[in-house]
């Protein structure tokens, strides 16, 4: 599999462009939509994605993974692990904040926005939108963000870095294709944030301290609070309040 990179100077959102390509073309698998600037970059939920022009990696990979709907969280797992490996190659130690964020020194360095299209119980295609802070040096304070440049005091070339990342991604994707799910599970847990200390979380009922016990087969977060009670959450049902 070789990814084909489609490069744009500016787009509203690479995920939106990927959706258009899937609607309009037959041959959409393994295409990567890359842009230097997004005017309507989308984050998780109703958030927008912050990035100045030409500073960061903004791209969407379209894959056709042939897995079942109930296995779809593996796409997120393999993507997070590829991002962790990419940072490792730069001697940056990163952690996965469930479900789709990557943290370095407790600050967000990248985010993933996955959009799946489903036929029956199979995944038809998956758009994996990745925003990775590369050369940005000033962020709005509320974002608690960092970048590779802030961590390494060095500038990086966008397209070279995209190609480096895609090589790592392809290797990871093959693991998923060969259904090495147990290995992915193990590695994902090892790189998860909050497994070694109690942190403060908020759900719709209360604020509590808890430690991450794992992720279940549906991709839900399993927390154990200070009374020993297990609490299981879907995305958006729980929020981490402190990053320490
Ligand atoms: C998050 O909120 O953490 C997810 C952020 C995802 C941002 C990326 S940037 C490239 C792709 N296109 C978008 O509009 N969003 C994703």
Look at residue 243 and tell me whether its pLDDT is greater than 70.
Answer: no
Eight-state DSSP code of residue 123: E
Mean per-residue pLDDT, 21-50? 96
How far out from the chain centre does Cα 169 lie? 12
Mutate to test the pocket of ligand 1, among 13, 31, 51, 113 (most ligand atoms within 8 A of CB): 113
- pLDDT confidence of residue 186: 92
How does DSSP assign 187-233, residue by residue? HHHHTBTTSSS-EEEE-SS-EEEEEEEEE-TTS-EEEEETTS-EEEE
Give Cβ neighbours of residue 65 (< 8 Å, ≥ 6 apart). Answer: 75, 123, 126, 173, 176, 177
- pLDDT confidence of residue 58: 98
Which band of pLDDT confidence, cut at 50, 70 and 90, is reported for residue 182? confident
Which band of pLDDT confidence, cut at 50, 70 and 90, is reported for residue 180? confident
Q: What is the pLDDT of residues 124-141, one digit of tens each?
A: 999 999 999 999 999 998
Return the ligand 1 atom nearest residue 101 CA: 3
pTM above 0.85, yes or no: yes
**Residues near ligand 1 (Cβ within 6 A):** 13-15, 38, 41-44, 47, 49, 58-60, 100-101, 111-113, 129-131
Q: What percent of the chain has pLDDT over 90?
A: 86
């Amino acid at each position: 599999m070789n990814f084909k990179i489609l490069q744009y100077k500016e787009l509203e959102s690479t995920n939106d462009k990927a959706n258009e390509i899937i609607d309009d073309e037959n041959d959409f698998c393994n295409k990567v939509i890359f842009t230097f600037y997004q005017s309507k970059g989308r984050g998780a939920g109703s958030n927008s994605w912050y990035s100045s022009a030409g500073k960061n990696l903004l791209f969407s990979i379209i894959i056709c993974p042939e897995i079942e709907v109930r296995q779809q969280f593996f796409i997120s797992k393999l993507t997070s692990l590829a991002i962790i490996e990419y940072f490792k190659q730069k001697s940056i130690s990163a952690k996965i904040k469930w479900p789709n964020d990557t943290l370095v020194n407790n600050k967000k360095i990248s985010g993933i926005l996955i959009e799946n299209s489903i036929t029956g119980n199979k995944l038809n295609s998956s758009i994996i939108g990745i925003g990775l802070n590369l050369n940005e040096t000033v962020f709005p304070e509320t974002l608690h963000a960092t970048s590779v440049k802030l961590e390494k005091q060095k500038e990086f070339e966008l397209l070279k870095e995209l190609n480096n990342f895609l090589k790592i991604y392809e290797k990871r994707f093959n693991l998923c294709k060969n259904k090495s799910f147990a290995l992915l599970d193990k590695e994902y847990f090892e790189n998860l944030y909050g497994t070694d200390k109690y942190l403060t979380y908020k759900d719709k009922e209360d604020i509590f301290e808890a430690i991450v016990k794992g992720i279940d087969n549906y991709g839900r977060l399993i927390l154990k609070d200070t009374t020993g009670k297990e609490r299981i959450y879907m995305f958006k049902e729980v929020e981490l309040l402190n990053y320490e």
